[in-house]
């Protein structure tokens, strides 16, 4: 299972979005390997246009969903401190998403470069689609 960050959902939903992200996400969805979580719900759905909200809500009902729990907030706080102590102040919502992925042992598919720094410093596992955007199993 791969936790898909808001940055990928947004890029894939744009008419002129990067085709690599569109195909990568499409293949994750086709393999039933894409998941989303509470912070992504707020970021993506909160910014949705009025005319798109009902359609998006229906679509997202079919995708595995991870609820943010109190332990995730605590883990995010600890991870924020680790990052800050090493000179990196990253957006809290990205740290929360990463903390949820770490807790559930999920990879994260993100366009946002903050996740690369968290992979380096926190051990977060990132997802990279295979050739032609195909789903890649863990190695």
Cα(124)–Cα(48) distance, integer angstroms? 28
Task: Check residue 138 and give its pLDDT.
Answer: 84
Identify which has the larger pLDDT, 101 or 59.
Answer: 101
Residue extents of the structural domains in the chain: 2-122
- Taking the model in full, what pTM does it have? 0.94
For 103-112, how does the pLDDT look when each residue is reduced to its tens digit (9 = 90+)? 999 999 999 9
Band (pLDDT 50/70/90 cuts) for residue 101 is very high
Specify the CATH class of 2-122 in words: alpha beta
For 13-59, how does the pLDDT look when each residue is reduced to its tens digit (9 = 90+)? 999 999 999 999 999 999 999 999 999 999 999 999 999 899 888 88
3-state helix, strand, coil in the chain (%, to 5): 60, 10, 30
Band (pLDDT 50/70/90 cuts) for residue 65 is very high
Residue 136 structure tokens: 């890649």
């Amino acid at each position: 299972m791969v936790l898909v960050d808001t940055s990928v959902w947004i890029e894939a939903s744009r008419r002129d979005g990067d085709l690599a992200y569109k195909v990568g996400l499409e293949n994750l969805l086709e393999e039933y390997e894409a998941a989303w979580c509470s912070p992504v719900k707020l970021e993506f759905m909160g910014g949705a246009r009025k005319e798109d909200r009902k359609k998006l809500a229906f679509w997202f009902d079919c995708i595995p969903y991870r609820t943010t729990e109190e332990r995730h907030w605590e883990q995010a706080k600890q991870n924020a401190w680790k990052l800050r102590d090493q000179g990196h102040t990253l957006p809290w919502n990205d740290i929360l998403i990463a903390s949820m992925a770490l807790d559930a042992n999920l990879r994260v598919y993100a366009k946002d470069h903050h996740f690369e720094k968290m992979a380096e410093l926190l051990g977060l596992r990132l997802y990279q689609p295979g050739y032609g955007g195909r789903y890649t199993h863990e190695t």
